[in-house]
């Protein structure tokens, strides 16, 4: 899809011939995120839709207790330190950002009065600044008014490396945040920033109060008493927190959205395992909501039969994929294996890569392993079953793979394994230990066998595989193996963060302690050039076209083989209306949750 086609689509949306939702969905089909699609529309003059979140209770309160069950327990309640989504979700009860992302990529104002756009002079033409207008009359839980000073403080707090905030990535490139008046702030960027809705938005944008944290910015950040006793602007007041166990809250009678929240108290319990969490929601109904149901679909279906609840599946940008090593893991150069100075003896032949791509039975993996919690895909970020994809499609064809290999000169030996120039088609394939992944490996091994490729399977404990330990050769970033499979998550933000994992300057090497994000070590000059252009391009549509091109470059070369798109399943007790979004936390609209009879 090129720029013109994109513009055509957008004018269809403008004219009302194409719905906003189907536009967003076709953007996801070519590898973009919903927020990115929303930004494109807003820049082209299609206003962000006023999402009407259904909310039926006549007044605030009266909903009784809301009980949330997470099988990983939150360990801290400062959003700037929240590493995992478990901590972010817990913070969402008390803290709020200026705006959040809804399911269709709309930016929904929460602490902002309105979303900045060109009409309300919120966005500068040169892409160097954004003006946010804040909602008036918002109070912190202790009664202090929420003002522009708080917003400015959050930027100062998070960007300071001494604070050691995990949200630093969203704030460090903002040159200046200044207060214009009590309810207006201006963000100035160091360079033109096409994707401006990152700081103060969604999970890393939760605002903490200046008057309680001002003394604890920088090196003393760990000592702030409010790290454990949040005072926010959110719909629930803090009652109690036991790290690694429970968070309790009660209704904020002074909440800034009239008539909300519906529930009188909220309890967030953590710990245990996913299966029993599913049981507590779907089968016994002890809890109203179960987080991240990473449970085999077969079991979920069985539990749903009880009729006490159902599983809700929310599309996200998480992709399970296989990376083929561009470099040779068996040769050591300057004390480093998989060095970019080497070439992989087998995968450097395009025929081998193409054959392997044909040998991944994505449809069966979806059907027999992931069920509703996975969509087979040939793209980064796409749902090909539902949406038209022009660029790439997946195919499972053993015969064709055999033909390709035969034509490229890989002949079967007496042991059934193909070989060429004395090199046998044999490779090692590693992944983290996790039962669906091991089943997935087995499916691929079987198909490869039929095409005369011998695959040796290797599984590494997750905590080792995903660690950043420079001394351990088994981590996914060392990639001392021929092929590996893992999941890459695409959080709410811009695809730019995501796509830089294939640029040549991000290659993981000994020199950067394997911190580089380009793990397959795939390098392509075209890709680098287009990526650099996209970094500077202010026109959202042109930029989107560039990202689509980047996606095609990566996927078309068959070193990176996307396999399954993993949506987020949650368990909900019958009647609960949670307004979920795959581009933000599950609890992003906790104020608007209610229960239908």
Residues that bind other proteins (CB under 8 A): 65, 69, 73, 75-76, 78, 81, 83-84, 161, 164-166, 168-170, 172, 204, 222, 227-228, 240, 242-246, 248, 265, 267, 269-273, 276, 279-280, 283-284, 286-287, 463-464, 466-469, 472, 474, 477, 486, 488-491, 493, 497-498, 500-501, 512, 515-517
Cβ at position 223, least distance to other proteins in Å: 9
CB of 444 to other proteins, least distance (A): 22
Strand order in the sheet with 129-134: 112-114, 129-134, 184-189, 174-181
Q: How far is the CB of 74 from other proteins (least distance, A)?
A: 9
Minimum gap (Å) between residue 328 Cβ and other proteins: 24
Rank residues 25 and 492 by Cβ distance to other proteins and give the closer one: 492
CB 287 within 8 A of CB 269: yes
CA atoms of 577 and 399, how far apart (whole Å): 48
Could you tell me how many residues make up the chain?
A: 597
**Closer residue to other proteins (CB): 280 or 453:** 280
- DSSP labels for 554-586? HHHTTSEEEEEE--EEEEEETTEE----TTS-T
CA distance 519 to 158: 28
Q: Which residues pair with 595 in a beta bridge?
A: 576
- Judged by beta carbon, residue 139 or residue 517, the one nearer other proteins is 517
- Report the distance separating Cα 40 and Cα 42, nearest Å: 6
Distance in angstroms (rounded) separating the CA atoms of residues 564 and 11? 32
Shortest Cβ distance from residue 567 to other proteins (Å)?
18
3-state class of 145 per DSSP?
strand
Tell me the closest approach of the beta carbon of residue 506 to other proteins, in angstroms: 10
Q: Which residue, 172 or 400, has its beta carbon nearer to other proteins?
A: 172
Q: Which of 332, 355, 341, 499 is nearest to 418 (CA)?
A: 355
Closest to other proteins by CB, 439 vs 517, is 517
CA-wise closest residue to 428 among 473, 468, 374: 473
Using the Cα atoms of residue 498, residue 501, residue 504 and residue 510 in order, give the sign of their dihedral.
positive
In the complex, the smallest distance separating the C-beta of residue 443 from other proteins, rounded to whole angstroms, is 24
- In the complex with other proteins, the residue whose CB is nearer, 10 or 534, is 534
Helices (H) and strands (E) in the chain, counts: 17, 24
* Phi, psi (rounded to 5 degrees) for 534: -60, -35
Strands 560-565 and 112-114: unpaired
Positive or negative, the CA dihedral 252, 257, 260, 266 is negative
Q: Quote the tokens at residue 516.
A: 């580089």
Smallest gap from Cβ 375 to other proteins, in A, equals 21
Nearer to other proteins among residue 253 and residue 471 (C-beta): 471
Among residues 577, 491, 533, the alpha carbon closest in space to that of 84 is found at 491
Residues 6+ apart with CB under 8 A from 28: 34, 37, 315, 317, 381, 382, 383, 387
How near is the Cβ of 212 to other proteins at its closest, in Å? Answer: 16
Q: What does the block give as tokens for 172?
A: 């460090």
- Smallest distance, other proteins to C-beta of residue 170, A: 7
Smallest separation (angstroms) from other proteins to the CB of 395: 29
Asked if residue 336 lies in contact with residue 508, where contact means CB atoms within 8 angstroms, the answer is no
Rounded to a whole number of angstroms, the minimum distance from the CB of residue 278 to other proteins is 12
CB of 271 to other proteins, least distance (A): 5
Residue number with CB closer to other proteins (222 or 367): 222
| Helices within 224-327 (DSSP H only) | 274-278, 297-304
Nearer to other proteins, 69 or 359 (CB): 69
Give the integer Cα–Cα distance in Å for 182 and 527: 44
Q: Which is nearer to other proteins, 186 or 279 (CB)?
A: 279
For other proteins, the closer of residues 283 and 441 by Cβ is: 283
* 53 vs 164, beta carbon nearer other proteins: 164
Question: Measured from the CB atom, is 294 or 403 closer to other proteins?
Answer: 294
Phi and psi for 507 in degrees, rounded to 5? Answer: -60, 130
Q: Within 13 Å of residue 461, how many CA atoms lie on the same side as its CB?
A: 3
Distances (CA, A) of 449 to 79, 235, 319, 398, 407: 49, 57, 25, 10, 18
Q: Please check whether residue 485 is in contact with residue 325, taking contact to mean a CB–CB distance below 8 angstroms.
A: no
């Amino acid at each position: 899809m090129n720029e013109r086609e994109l513009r055509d689509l957008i004018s269809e949306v403008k004219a009302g011939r194409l719905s906003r939702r189907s536009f967003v969905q076709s953007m996801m089909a070519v590898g973009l995120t919903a927020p990115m699609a929303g930004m494109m529309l807003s820049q082209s003059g299609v206003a962000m839709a006023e999402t009407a979140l259904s909310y039926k209770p006549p007044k605030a309160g009266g909903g009784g207790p809301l009980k949330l069950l997470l099988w990983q327990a939150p360990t801290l309640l400062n959003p700037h330190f929240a590493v995992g989504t478990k901590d972010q979700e817990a913070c969402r009860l008390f803290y709020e950002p200026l705006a959040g992302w809804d399911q269709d990529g709309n930016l929904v104002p929460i602490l902002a009065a309105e979303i900045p756009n060109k009409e309300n002079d919120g966005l500068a033409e040169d892409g160097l600044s954004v003006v946010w207008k804040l909602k008036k009359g918002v109070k912190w839980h202790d009664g202090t008014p929420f003002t522009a000073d708080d917003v400015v403080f959050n930027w100062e707090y998070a960007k300071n490396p001494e604070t050691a905030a995990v949200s630093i990535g969203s704030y460090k490139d903002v040159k200046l945040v200044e207060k214009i008046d009590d309810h207006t702030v201006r963000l100035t960027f160091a360079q033109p920033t096409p994707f401006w809705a990152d700081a103060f938005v969604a999970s890393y944008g939760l605002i903490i109060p200046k008057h309680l944290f001002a003394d604890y910015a920088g090196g003393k950040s760990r000592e702030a008493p409010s790290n454990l006793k949040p005072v926010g602007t959110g719909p629930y007041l803090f009652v109690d927190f036991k790290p690694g166990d429970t968070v309790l809250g009660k209704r904020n009678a002074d909440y800034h959205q009239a008539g909300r929240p519906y529930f009188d108290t909220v309890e967030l319990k953590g710990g245990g395992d996913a299966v029993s969490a599913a049981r507590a929601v779907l089968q016994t109904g002890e809890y109203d909501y179960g987080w991240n149901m990473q449970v085999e679909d077969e079991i979920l279906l069985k539990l749903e039969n009880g009729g006490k609840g159902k599983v809700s599946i929310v599309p996200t940008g998480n992709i399970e994929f296989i990376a083929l090593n561009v470099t040779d893991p068996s040769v050591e150069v300057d004390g480093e294996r998989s060095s970019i100075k080497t070439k992989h003896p087998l995968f450097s032949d395009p025929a081998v890569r193409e054959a392997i791509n044909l040998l991944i039975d994505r449809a069966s993996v979806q059907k027999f392993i992931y069920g509703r919690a996975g969509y087979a895909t040939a793209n980064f970020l796409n749902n090909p079953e539902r949406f038209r994809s022009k660029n790439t499609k997946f195919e499972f064809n053993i015969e064709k793979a055999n033909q390709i290999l035969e034509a490229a000169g890989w002949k079967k030996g007496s042991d059934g394994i193909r070989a060429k120039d004395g090199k046998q088609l044999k490779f090692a394939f590693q992944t983290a230990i996790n039962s669906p992944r091991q089943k997935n490996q087995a499916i691929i091994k079987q198909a490869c066998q039929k095409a005369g490729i011998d695959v040796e399977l290797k599984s590494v404990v997750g905590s080792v595989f995903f660690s950043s330990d420079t001394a351990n050769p088994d981590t996914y970033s060392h990639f001392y193996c021929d092929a590996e499979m893992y999941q890459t998550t695409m959080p709410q933000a811009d695809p730019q963060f995501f796509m830089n994992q294939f640029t040549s300057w991000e290659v993981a090497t000994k020199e950067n302690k394997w911190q580089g994000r380009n793990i397959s070590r795939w390098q392509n000059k075209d890709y680098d050039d287009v990526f650099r252009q996209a970094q500077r391009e202010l026109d959202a549509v042109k930029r989107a076209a560039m990202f689509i091109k980047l996606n095609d470059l990566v996927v078309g070369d068959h070193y990176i083989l996307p396999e399954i798109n993993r949506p987020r399943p949650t368990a909900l007790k019958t009647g609960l209306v949670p307004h979920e979004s795959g581009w933000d936390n599950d609890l992003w609209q906790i104020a608007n949750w209610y229960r239908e009879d």
